[in-house]
Structure 1
Amino acid sequence: MMESSARMRLPLLVAGQAQKEITHNEALALIDLAVQPSVVEIGRNAPPPAPAHGEAWVVGAAPEGAWADHAGALAGWTAGGWRFMLPWAGFAVWNRADRGTALFDGEEWRRTAPASAIDAPAGGGVIDAEARAAIGSMLASMRAHGWIKG
C-alpha cells in the first residue's frame, strides 16, 4: 500500500487510520504550498527570522537550521511551522525577488531568462506619431509586467 502520492508525495489516508484529519490537513498544507507557488527568494540557506504565514522560499544548496537536509526543496511557513516539498522535473515557481520564473529540471533550479529586449521605434522615412505612441505604451506595459527586458 502506498503511503504518499506519486508526484507530489502527499500523505494518503489508510483504512482504519485514527485521526485522519491530521493526514488530510497535512496534504492540504502541502497542496497550498505547491499550487501556483510564489517564492520570496531562491537559494537562501537559512530560514528567515520572521516569515509571514504563507511565504515560501527555494532552499539553497547548503541549508542550515530548520532547513537542514532540505537542499533544493520548496520551504513554506505555515501555522504548524515549516513544510517542505521536494520538486520534480518541470516544477516551476514565480520568484518575487527578480520577477521571473524558475524551473526545476530534475537536478537543479534554473532561472528562466526574461524575453529579449525590444527597442522602441525610432527613425524611418515616414513618422506615424500615433503608432509610435501606441507601440511605446505597449512596450512600457510589457516591461512593467516583467514580460520583456527594459
Structure 2
Amino acid sequence: MDMTPRWALPLLFAGQAQKEIFHNEALTVIDALLHGRVESADSATPPGAPVAGQCWIVAAGASGAWAGQAGAIACWSAGGWRFLTPRAGMRVDVADRGHALFHDGAEWRDAAIRGDGLYLDGNRLVTTRQAAIADPSGGTVIDVEGRATMAAILTALRAHGLIGS
C-alpha cells in the first residue's frame, strides 16, 4: 500500500527517493482538509485569480480545469489545482453561504445549525430567540388550571432558551 486508505495521502518508504515530494503532497492535502473552509459551493468554473490555500466545492456542470470534478473540493496550490474526494461525515464551512455543508456519502447537504436557526429537512424548526411572551392573567376561576399550564409551558420554553424571559 503506497497511500493512506481514507484520504489517499502518500506514504513514505525506506530508501525512497525524493521523499520531500511525497511528504509535501501529503501536507498540502492535510492543509486543505483540516478545519475545512471553502469559498463557495455554487461555482462550476474555476476562479480567474485564486490564492494559494483557497478551496471550492465544485458545482454540477463543471468546466475548464474543473471538468469532471463535480462535488469534489478543488484547492488551489503552488502546483495548481488539487481535487479531494469528499467522504461521508466531512464538514466544511462555506464562506458565501454563512453556514456549513456536510457530505452524507453521496452529496453535499446544508448543515442543520445555521446562523438563523435550526433546520430539519430544509425546514426551519427553531429560529433566533424571540421577544418574551407575557404571562397569562385575568379570567375566571375555571381559567386557573389553564393559566397554570400555560405558565409551566412558558417556564420550560424560557429554560431551554427558545423564548426570552
Q: Distance in 2 between matches of 1:35 and 1:104?
A: 15
Offset at residue 125 of structure 1 (A): 4.8
How far apart are residue 71 of structure 1 and its match?
1.7
Farther off after superposition, 70-79 or 23-32: 70-79
- Counterparts of residues 104-143 of structure 1 (less than 5 Å): 104-113=103-112, 114=114, 115=118, 116-125=126-135
In structure 2, give the amino acid aligned to 1:43. Answer: D
In the alignment, which residue of structure 1 is the partner of 2:46?
A: 47
1:122 Cα deviation from its structure 2 partner = 3.7
Structure 2 Cα separation of the partners of residues 46 and 15 of structure 1: 41
Pair member with larger Rg? 2
What TM-score results when the alignment is normalised by the length of structure 1?
0.77
| Paired AA for residue 93 in structure 2 | W
Identify the residue that residue 13 of structure 1 maps to in structure 2.
12
Q: CA deviation at 1:21?
A: 0.5
Please give the alpha-carbon distance, in whole angstroms, between the structure 2 residues aligned to 1:43 and 1:121. Answer: 35
Give structure 1 regions of 4+ aligned residues with deviation exceeding 3 angstroms: none
Q: Superposition pairs for residues 79-118 of structure 1, below 5 Å?
A: 79-113=78-112, 114=114, 115=118, 116-118=126-128
User: Is the deviation greater in 30-39 or in 105-114?
Assistant: 105-114
Q: What SS does the aligned partner of 1:82 have?
A: strand
After TM superposition, the structure 1 = structure 2 runs for residues 55-94 of structure 1, keeping only pairs within 5 Å, are: 55-94=54-93
Residue segments in structure 1 that go unaligned for 5+ positions in a row: 127-134, 140-150
Distance 1:96 1:18, change over 3 A: same
- RMSD of the alignment, in Å? 2.1
**Alpha-carbon distance between aligned partners in 2 of 1:78 and 1:101, rounded to the nearest angstrom:** 23
Q: In structure 1, what is the equivalent of residue 155 of structure 2?
A: none
* Alpha-carbon distance in 2 for matches of 1:92, 1:9: 18
For residue 30 of structure 2, what is the amino acid of its counterpart? Answer: I
- The number of equivalent residue pairs is 128
Percent identity for Structure 1 against Structure 2: 45
**Runs of 5+ consecutive residues of structure 2 not aligned to the other structure:** 119-125, 137-157
Question: SS state of the match for residue 42, structure 2?
Answer: strand
Q: RCO (CA 8 Å, sep 6+): is it higher in 1 or 2?
A: 1
Query: How much does 1:123 deviate?
Result: 4.6
